């Protein structure tokens, strides 16, 4: 079990790691060794995630999520499989933790009378400046 938050746990068998060849520097090593990691996590069928967290995670993931609801995280920064595997897992945990935070409800506010008055005064001042410029332009 991987503990994400005190209330959210995911099982290791829900995560699927696939090792692929990475692009970038590494010389001959990059052509021979599959060090990059693709982490696949099925968000929709995961029993460890509450419904609201799933929907927020799908929205947060953006292009990293497939139409089937599988979250795909690629890690290829390091030259070893283990370091890339750890980084992919950390990124998944960070993403789920972000999704677990419930956004605050926005409360409607009204501008104060003073701020409305100030705005109108500024609009009048700017209009007056423009009117004065216009009058000078025709002289």
Question: What is the tens place of the pLDDT at every residue in 11-33?
Answer: 778 888 888 877 766 666 666 77
Q: Does 41 lie in the same domain as 11?
A: yes
CA distances from 39 to 63, 111, 126 (A): 14, 48, 57
| Structural domain that includes position 82 | 2-100
Where the chain has pLDDT below 70, the residues are 24-31, 135-139
**Number of CB atoms found within 10 A of residue 43's CB:** 21
| 76 domain residue, yes or no | yes
Same domain, yes or no, for 139 and 120? yes
Does residue 34 share a domain with residue 14? yes
7 and 60 part of one domain: yes
- Measure the CA–CA gap between 132 and 100, rounded to whole angstroms: 57
CA 64 → CA 78, 83, 99, 103, 134, distances in Å? 20, 21, 14, 22, 55
- pTM beyond cutoff 0.75: no
Domains: count for the chain: 2
């Amino acid at each position: 079990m991987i503990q994400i938050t005190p209330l959210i746990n995911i099982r290791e068998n829900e995560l699927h790691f696939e090792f692929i060849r990475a692009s970038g520097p590494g010389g001959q090593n990059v052509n021979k060794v599959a060090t990059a990691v693709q982490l696949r996590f099925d968000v929709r069928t995961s029993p460890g995630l509450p419904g609201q967290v799933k929907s927020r995670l799908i929205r947060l993931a953006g292009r990293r999520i497939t139409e089937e609801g599988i979250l795909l995280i690629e890690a290829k920064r390091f030259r070893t499989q283990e370091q890339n595997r750890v980084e992919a897992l950390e990124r998944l945990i960070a993403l789920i933790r972000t999704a677990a935070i419930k956004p605050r409800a926005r409360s409607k506010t009204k501008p104060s009378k003073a701020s409305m008055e100030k705005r109108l005064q500024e609009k009048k001042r700017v209009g007056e400046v423009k009117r004065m410029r216009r009058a000078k332009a025709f002289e």
